[in-house]
Amino acid sequence: MSDRIRVLFAIGSLAGGGSERQIVNILRHIDRSKFEPHLYLVNRTGEFLSQVPDDVEIASFVEPANAGALNLPGLAHRAQVTHVENCLREKQIDVLYDRTPHMTLISAPACRRTNTPRLSTIVCDPEHDLRESFTRFRWIKERLLRKAYRTADCVIANSQSLSEASQSGFGLSRTQVVTISNGFDFEEISRLSEASEDALTLKQTEATYHLVAVGRLHPQKGLVDLINAVHELNQRRVERRVELSLIGQGPERESLMQRVDELDLGQQVRFTGFLSNPYRAIRTADLFCLTSLYEGMPNVLVEAMSLGVPVLSTDCPHGPRDILQGGELGTLVPCRDSKKIADGIEQAIASASNRDIQTAKAKESVLSRFSIGPTTRSLEELLTYVARHHK
């Protein structure tokens, strides 16, 4: 092992998601005097690719000339495993950190072949994540994934409740799972929230109440329930006109737009697409809404709270209840219940003039618990231990 520990951070791509943003944050803040970070991508694509620090070398899987043959079951996977294996050897990697189930399935056999220490992360509810992540040959992949997590030197969960779910869901021992929260560069988030270039600003008026939701347009996010809640508020004739901005892109975009048309909400619901800087829109919103059916640790909920914005979240597994401290720092509502979501929004409208005390407390709480410095130091200690004590 050299003076600096060589770490290979591995993920499928740098598409605009929470795990991808976290990888970039870690690459930016990991201590260069102790670590030499490298990045591995299966697909060298994604909105966050331009944010990778210049000193981080990127390796990516390149399909061989006979790429058509990779459609055969297992052949593409074996080619990817071999590619990661070669990368580990060529770069003399001391420890690998993988994120997302697909990457874990690739990195586990590659590390076994090279005897490279491995940290694997679990960032979403195991039951739901397995169902959503794997469509073909699911039972085989689930079996392999359980083995992959069990053979990792350490498994990281980003919330305590997710740690407990991972132990039961994958049969992991309590000593094998470590909880390290996602880390946030709150100074950068604050700076971006003040930026005017390439940023969406919501014009605040007494007549309009702005809702914002940020994330992939995917069934997991429960956005159809939020759209239905806006319609419900129209039926109730609440005192302020409610408008909703959906920031993100994903496979459910067309069906969500169709639902907006069915409810005649075209003048109230806006689809912005992916925004590299959503923070100005969040900061200028009246209420940030997270209506997910399940999570691990929803990054954007923490980010909204750090900007002093009131938040409403479904009480889904896992993350929101911990972040909001049981509802003390924001509103918790049931999943899949548009009327309860509407109730929460209506209550927020009614109490808009008295929001400052709760939002100030919420901001102070997340700044103290989730700052990038302490969370990165915890990860560095774990990487160092695993690299030096692997057998």
Q: Would you place residue 296 in the very low, low, confident or very high pLDDT band (cuts 50, 70, 90)?
A: confident
- pLDDT score at 64: 53
Amino acid type, 81: V
Instruction: Tell me the whole-structure pTM to 2 decimals.
Output: 0.88
Domains of the chain: 5-183+371-389 (3.40.50.2000), 187-369 (3.40.50.2000)
Q: Would you place residue 138 in the very low, low, confident or very high pLDDT band (cuts 50, 70, 90)?
A: low
Largest Cα–Cα distance of the chain, in whole Å?
67
**377 pLDDT exceeds 80?**
yes
Distance CA 346, CA 349 (A): 5
Contact 20, 370 (CB under 8 A): no
Q: Would you place residue 124 in the very low, low, confident or very high pLDDT band (cuts 50, 70, 90)?
A: confident
Max mean pLDDT range (46-50, 65-69, 144-148, 287-291): 287-291
Q: Would you place residue 130 in the very low, low, confident or very high pLDDT band (cuts 50, 70, 90)?
A: low
The tens digit of pLDDT for each residue in 57-90 reads: 999 997 555 445 555 657 888 999 999 999 999 9
- pLDDT score at 1: 61
What value, to the nearest 5°, has the Cα angle with vertex 39 and ends 247 and 107?
A: 100
The two tokens of residue 140 are: 């085989």
The tens digit of pLDDT for each residue in 171-187 reads: 899 999 999 999 999 99
Classify the C-alpha dihedral 333-334-336-337 as positive or negative.
Answer: negative
**238 pLDDT exceeds 90?**
no
- pLDDT score at 269: 97
**259 pLDDT exceeds 60?**
yes
Distance CA 248, CA 318 (A): 21
Higher model confidence: residue 131 or residue 214? 214
